[in-house]
Structure 1
């Protein structure tokens, strides 16, 4: 798909979009969000229209389709829409919505939580530890990954239950996305909460139910493989080095590849325009950029 008109509440983004021929209006078929992953997640939790994430320069937002400085090339990009699972957690009449994950956690750090997991009414396991996560495929590269979960293709129709620091060494479990997950018999020395995407919080009361409540629509960029096929050998070499060793600064790429700094700069520009690499400010040295696939 091509994008020609959007709605956005960011004046900064609106000015840049209009400058480069993209119509900005209320009620447009696509909602453009300028910011970090948390801002894109906020829109996905409530918005039924496709959400296009655009990140500030140097910000590595995994859900963003492009950076602000790439807006001049927007007409050259091809986009697609991925339907991502939207979860709802309910306990004691309160509800929280999530795109990444629902977390069952104690209010006090380093406090054990005991719980029982049921799926579609059937007992699965008992566990105790720091809690557990019910993650979507989109969320599998976020908190769930750091807790030991698997990386799941965002198009998969599944949810993943990931115990957090399980004292009983319970492994992650993957279920079809249409199951009803219940967390019962939860016990802890402090209050326990269900937290959606790290921001929507409700108190656990008696039993918690987590289920899919539809989908959100995330706009992603399609890599231009036709352009990649036409890249010069130097650019293909740089691309391979970045994929295997990145993130890397241009000087580091030159040292690893044996190419001249000028050739590396040209290759990086070709790769960036093809949507095959992106750059961020080096967190260890804000005076330079590093490149990643």
Structure 2
């Protein structure tokens, strides 16, 4: 197990509850003689903190562990920035669902203490890279831990596009777009669009059509090593967009090509020792834990 000494802390902006947890986290880590490094935007929420401050990029070079206080979106952002550094991430949930940020603020010291003493499990989660090309020239790039989504933006018109997997033509489709999701993202936007839940250990990607024009269009699960190519139809009257974890949008034009592949770097996600994916699903998705009499 890794020995964590230099611990980076990132907090979601604009939340009083996050600030409360950040203060408690700072006090606990200092009392246990850990070196604490605050992310530069997070530092602005803790005036007079007296700690070292660093950019996310620098944190990836000097930290042994990064703790993210916020929701899953906060951890997604940290993962995209820190994947290349191979620094393990631990999430403290101050959001809503919390599939990735699974330590509760109410038992922060106990759970964090266990993790810092080596009582944890580690998962490797892969990300997706998306590249946009126009007339053979690169136009935009993004990474996603959850999903890469082709969507109509503010338009209400359907998008026409062709789908290729590993160079093989799959279909032409008219729909509101397509969600290309990792197993991590299968419990997020993909799920709400009718996609399957995939175990995080799977090396697979799911393609989920959004309101397709034909009822025969269904989600497709493919090998995680696949190259997915989307070609925006030349006859589109709208300029669709491609988004990465819902955070960054790149405008597309008719004829553009989007290539989506697995990122070469994985993130290291730390969980408490008793973490269980199916228990998380029961809790977060409201699955029954026993058969009750009617």
Both structures adopt the same fold (TM-score exceeding 0.5): yes
Give, in whole Å, the separation in 1 of the partners of 2:121 and 2:145. 18
8 Å CA contact 1:117, 1:123 repeated in 2: yes
1:55 to 93, 108, 115: 93
2:246 to 185, 191, 198: 198
Give, in whole Å, the separation in 2 of the partners of 1:212 and 1:116. 20
2:288 aligned counterpart, secondary structure: helix
Give, in whole Å, the separation in 2 of the partners of 1:220 and 1:109. 40
Question: Which of structure 1's runs of 4+ aligned residues deviate more than 4 A?
Answer: 1-4
Gaps of 5+ in 1: 226-238, 247-255, 257-293
Give the alignment's TM-score, normalised by structure 1: 0.71
Residue 110 (structure 1) shift: 2.9
Matched, 1:216 2:216: no
For residues 97-145 of structure 1, what are the alpha-carbon distances to aligned partners after superposition, in whole Å with 9 as ceiling and x for unaligned?
Answer: 1000000001224320111110111101111111001000000000001
Give the alignment's TM-score, normalised by structure 2: 0.71
Kindly tell me the number of residue pairs found equivalent between the two proteins: 232
1:65–1:211 Cα change, 3 Å: same
Gaps of 5+ in 2: 12-21, 38-61, 277-282
Give me the CA root mean square deviation.
Answer: 2.7
Partner of 1:46: 81
1:148–1:243 Cα change, 3 Å: closer
Matched, 1:75 2:86: no
8 Å CA contact 2:26, 2:36 repeated in 1: no
Give, in whole Å, the separation in 2 of the partners of 1:152 and 1:13. 35
Matched, 1:135 2:153: no
2:198 aligned counterpart, secondary structure: coil
Give, in whole Å, the separation in 2 of the partners of 1:224 and 1:87. 25
Give, in whole Å, the separation in 1 of the partners of 2:202 and 2:237. 37
2:196 aligned counterpart, secondary structure: coil
> Within 5 Å, which residues of 2 pair with 1:2-151?
4-5=4-5, 6-10=7-11, 11-12=22-23, 14-18=25-29, 21=32, 23-26=34-37, 27-47=62-82, 48=85, 49-56=87-94, 59-73=96-110, 74-76=112-114, 78-92=119-133, 93=138, 94-151=140-197
For residues 225-275 of structure 1, what are the alpha-carbon distances to aligned partners after superposition, in whole Å with 9 as ceiling and x for unaligned?
Answer: 9xxxxxxxxxxxxx9xx96269xxxxxxxxx9xxxxxxxxxxxxxxxxxxx
1:79–1:3 Cα change, 3 Å: farther
Give, in whole Å, the separation in 2 of the partners of 1:243 and 1:134. 25
Residue 41 (structure 1) shift: 0.2
1:244 aligned counterpart, secondary structure: coil
1:111–1:213 Cα change, 3 Å: same
Residue 46 (structure 1) shift: 1.6
Give, in whole Å, the separation in 2 of the partners of 1:16 and 1:201. 38
Partner of 2:44: none
Give, in whole Å, the separation in 2 of the partners of 1:243 and 1:144. 18
1:164 to 177, 185, 210: 210
